[in-house]
């Protein structure tokens, strides 16, 4: 490290599958990020409310999910983030997490944005695949109006046809030029929404190249989902990064980060 402040990391499995699994992943990610002196938030969802199929696994739900997240913090000391899907969830979630996250498909929901902004916690809004980069200005205005100045926007690609996403790296520069802090989501950016019928497809092999490009452009934070056995994951199995690849990936990305002006 050359003394340059590193980007922070948000990472974890897509959805809470079991207490043992999420604690094991959190401990491994904490070890790696401590090694590289990267600020770290552990992320896993208690409910995947936007699954393609009504039969898909969604997670343990709010009550049990928050108990598990609290246990992760107790056992690992990791800072936490997770998604909220309704205003009713915000207060309970904010008592447990350090960063409240709004999913991309809800990024324009004013009541939800306002409720998150009023928690006194940092807020991460995932930019919808249907928004232009400059459209986040109006989301920022909603947050600022209720006193929230500690917020982030996450770039996760834009709709390209019916089943593809593309990442326009100009959007990252544009949002940062407008004084917004930007996170790049490397794994959701390589999804192919509903491409497999009842399941969202994608190709995780593109996540690392896109992350390299985003770090070179300049980001405040990096987001990716990871699992020790992605092929067995109960959500986003085609796009998650293998846990045993995280160390080498972060090592490479930090070298790029340190090399840019």
Dist. CA 201–CA 112, nearest whole Å: 28
Of 72, 1, 16, 3, whose CA–CA distance to 41 is shortest? 72
pLDDT at residue 45 is higher than 90: yes
The per-residue pLDDT for 150 is 98
pLDDT at residue 73 is higher than 90: yes
Domain ranges of the chain: 8-259
pLDDT in tens, 183-213: 999 999 999 877 566 667 889 999 999 999 9
The whole model's pTM is what? 0.95
Contact 169, 143 (CB under 8 A): no
User: Which CATH architecture fits 8-259?
Assistant: Alpha-Beta Barrel (3.20)
Contacts of residue 64, defined as CB under 8 A and 6 or more positions apart, other chains included, come to 46
Dist. CA 44–CA 25, nearest whole Å: 10
CA angle 240, 205, 190 (to 5 degrees): 65
Dist. CA 19–CA 56, nearest whole Å: 20
The per-residue pLDDT for 193 is 78
Q: Is 218 exposed, middle or buried (0-12, 13-18, 19+ CB in 10 A)?
A: middle
């Amino acid at each position: 490290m050359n003394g340059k402040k590193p980007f922070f990391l948000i990472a974890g499995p897509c959805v809470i599958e079991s207490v043992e699994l999420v604690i094991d992943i959190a401990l491994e990610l904490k070890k790696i990020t401590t090694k590289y002196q990267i600020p770290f938030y552990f992320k896993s969802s208690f409910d995947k409310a936007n699954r393609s199929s009504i039969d898909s696994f969604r997670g343990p739900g709010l009550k049990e999910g928050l108990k598990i997240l609290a246990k992760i913090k107790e056992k690992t000391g990791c800072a936490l983030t997770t998604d909220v899907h309704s205003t009713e969830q915000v207060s309970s979630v904010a008592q447990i997490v350090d960063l409240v996250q709004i999913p991309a498909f809800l990024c324009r929901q004013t009541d939800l944005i306002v409720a998150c902004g009023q928690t006194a916690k940092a807020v991460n809004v995932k930019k919808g695949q249907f928004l232009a980069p400059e459209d986040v200005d109006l989301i920022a205005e909603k947050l600022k109006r209720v006193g929230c100045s500690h917020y982030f926007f996450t770039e996760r690609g834009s709709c390209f046809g019916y089943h593809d996403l593309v990442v326009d790296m100009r959007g990252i520069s544009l949002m940062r030029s407008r004084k917004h802090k930007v996170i790049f989501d490397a794994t959701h950016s390589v999804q192919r929404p509903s491409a497999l019928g009842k399941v969202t497809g994608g190709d995780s092999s593109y996540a690392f190249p896109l992350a390299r490009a985003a770090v070179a452009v300049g980001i405040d934070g990096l987001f990716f989902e990871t699992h020790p056995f992605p092929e067995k994951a109960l959500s986003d199995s085609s796009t998650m990064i293998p846990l045993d690849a995280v160390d080498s990936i972060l090592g490479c990305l930090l070298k790029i980060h340190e090399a840019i002006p």
